[in-house]
Structure 1
Amino acid sequence: MEFADKLGVSDRIVSRWEGEGERASLRMVNQAALDTLLANADKDAQGRFVGILAADDAPTHAIIEPDEDQTNSGDYVKHFGDGKLMAHIPEGIFLSGEGAEPVWVDEFHIDTFPTTNADYARFCAATRHAVPEHWENGRCPRDLYDHPVVHVNWRDAHAYATWAGKSLPTAEQWEKAARGTSGRTFPWGDQKTAAKCNVRETGVERTTSVSRYHSGVSPFGVYDMVGNVWEWLATATTPGRYELRGSAFTSPLFRGAPAISNDAGDMMRDDDTGFRCAATPAQMTPRKR
């Protein structure tokens, strides 16, 4: 098969992926080959690829095999509300903050990837919510489909979460999902490695695909918890102001350490601020009518 030859794998492996469909789990090297092939494709092919995923309510590059030092292989499930893949975070204690204080967090799920422009477009179409100001003629540019949505304030993020049957994550939920239970400085460990995320030192100077940085994945299999965009949280700092975590492409790496907090007014919109959602066990099951 021509496709298999381009990836450098056997026909049998491609056939297995096709048979397993959404359940397919790819090795890191194979996922990287697929990423490269897609990146080198023309814009029409890329648009068709993202469109197919959006139609199926499936996120880009959803599941990969974790590195050996991860504490969790990634326990994923699709949410009934917006169809996004969510990672399961079990109940228990994690070491929180710069002082590594033990904090208990109940079981929850969190979006594997930040909310993308494609996700947000479906929300706007369903609710007639105002679209972000940078979309051209009210439509998201094709090359930004799988980038995190930006120019959304806290109220926009909260409205999306409510529509999806979820919530914005609390500071404790977000931090645990980002750094695991053992108090590591970054999702990948204690090393200050800017190449694992989209921050100022990386030099990209714009948002990137939410699944681009595979080696920066958290112990629970959650992506983009450092860099790309700051993420709105449910935790208020003062009336009308809410926490932000994770840093962005505009900020230095050290600001992205999950233990470090930022905040902003709930009406603030910027080109480096987005969000992802969380869900309690009750929010993972549709309500009976």
Structure 2
Amino acid sequence: MTGVTRWTGREVYLLRKAMRKNGREFAALVPVSQRQLTTWETRGETIDLRPGNQAALDTMLARAKVAVQQRFATLLTERAAVEHDERAEELLRRDPRTVKHPVDGKIMVLVEEGIYLAGAASTPNWLDGFRIDVYPTTNLDYERFVRATGHRPPRHWANGRCPDDLFDHPVVWVTWHDASAYAHWCGKQLPTAEQWEKAARGPKGRTYPWGDEPTAAKCNVSEAEIGKTTPVARYQSGASPYGVFDLCGNTWEWCSTEEEPGRYELKGSAFTSPFERTAPSLRNAANATMQDNDTSFRCVSPP
């Protein structure tokens, strides 16, 4: 069972439900007053519990029966899915170019057909129109795929389950073959390097998704000193002209373009990369069997 990074009133409520305790019984186990427990649950995510209470809840969860831990994990994942859907609906309302894919439920945005400036030399290039995922494939997205197909889960998932605190982070430790299997399952494809670059730079060939200024604060790169992935919706100011997120930093992303047999292009740089490696025009590639903690993917589909 993956632990809870930060206990709030939301997690307290879900643990009580998983243990099937009423307020008085659960409060006595923490131990706190029933009034204090009611305050926690009422305030939900707006309240941070004191370190002593956090430790007590950690112990309760660790000592709980396996069935309780499984129910708690399921409740957390269901809640995360609802939050994910709420963000998706907000984006659909805000941007008329977006649609929700019928299989994996991800929000996709239209990249119109036409000429765009490609590569380091900004050479004019024509591309047909396509749709691309607004966000990279998250752990929560990938868990739906694993449950539906029985595909091997990533190595960082304890007991083969999506980590509760990483549901909205890009899934990592996936090979090109894993990414392709996900794309096949939902009826999409991995983007070509050209599609990925146009989605990142726009038709006028921006140096970075947000413009031409080298602003490291707009993405998760090594200079940020975070040292791990971040939620896919975090860097709103770093979105591309089409409203696509995380096209610089956070994780490298697999493309369908084959550099040589068995070796495929990667785009975007990662939290492990220096900012100088983030420009979408730059090229990188890896063997299809490579997997790492800084490599993920997103998908495209016809318009």
Q: Quick one: distance in 2 between partners of 1:117 and 1:265?
A: 22
Q: Specify which structure has the bigger relative contact order, considering alpha-carbon pairs within 8 angstroms and separated by 6 or more residues.
A: 1
Q: Name 2:78's counterpart in structure 1.
A: 51
Q: Name 1:144's counterpart in structure 2.
A: 166
Alpha-carbon offset, residue 64 of structure 1: 5.7
Report the CA distance shift for 1:259/1:59 in structure 2 as closer, same or farther (over 3 A).
farther
Report the CA distance shift for 1:95/1:63 in structure 2 as closer, same or farther (over 3 A).
farther
Report the CA distance shift for 1:88/1:136 in structure 2 as closer, same or farther (over 3 A).
same
In the alignment, is residue 97 of structure 1 matched against residue 108 of structure 2?
Answer: no
Report the CA distance shift for 1:39/1:60 in structure 2 as closer, same or farther (over 3 A).
farther
**How do residues 237-252 of structure 1 correspond to structure 2 at under 5 angstroms?**
237-252=259-274
Report the CA distance shift for 1:48/1:128 in structure 2 as closer, same or farther (over 3 A).
closer
Report the CA distance shift for 1:53/1:88 in structure 2 as closer, same or farther (over 3 A).
farther
Deviation track 1:14-58 (CA, whole Å, cap 9, x = no partner) reads xxxxxxxxxxxxxxxxxxxxxxx96876799xx968634525873
**How do residues 243-282 of structure 1 correspond to structure 2 at under 5 angstroms?**
243-281=265-303
Alpha-carbon offset, residue 139 of structure 1: 1.1
In the alignment, is residue 134 of structure 1 matched against residue 156 of structure 2?
Answer: yes
Q: Name 2:34's counterpart in structure 1.
A: none
Q: Quick one: distance in 2 between partners of 1:279 and 1:256?
A: 25
Equivalenced residues, count: 239
Conserved? CA contact 2:134–2:243, under 8 Å:
yes
Report the CA distance shift for 1:116/1:62 in structure 2 as closer, same or farther (over 3 A).
farther
Q: Quick one: distance in 2 between partners of 1:149 and 1:186?
A: 23
- Compute the TM-score of the two structures, normalised by the length of structure 1: 0.76
Q: Which of the two has greater helix per residue?
A: 2
Report the CA distance shift for 1:175/1:130 in structure 2 as closer, same or farther (over 3 A).
same
Which of 239, 246, 256 is equivalent to 1:224? Answer: 246
- Identity %, equivalent residues: 54
Q: Quick one: distance in 1 between partners of 2:251 and 2:180?
A: 17
Q: Quick one: distance in 2 between partners of 1:144 and 1:86?
A: 21
Q: For 2:102, what is the secondary structure of its paired residue?
A: coil
Q: Name 2:255's counterpart in structure 1.
A: 233
Report the CA distance shift for 1:208/1:166 in structure 2 as closer, same or farther (over 3 A).
same
Q: Quick one: distance in 1 between partners of 2:165 and 2:295?
A: 18
Q: Quick one: distance in 2 between partners of 1:176 and 1:62?
A: 25
Q: Which runs of 4+ in 1 moved over 6 A?
A: 39-44, 47-50
In the alignment, is residue 77 of structure 1 matched against residue 99 of structure 2?
Answer: yes
Q: For 1:129, what is the secondary structure of its paired residue?
A: coil
Q: Quick one: distance in 1 between partners of 2:254 and 2:289?
A: 11
Q: Name 2:18's counterpart in structure 1.
A: none
Corresponding letter in the other structure for 2:116: F
Q: For 2:185, what is the secondary structure of its paired residue?
A: helix
Gaps of 5+ in 1: 1-36, 66-72, 282-289
Report the CA distance shift for 1:59/1:193 in structure 2 as closer, same or farther (over 3 A).
farther
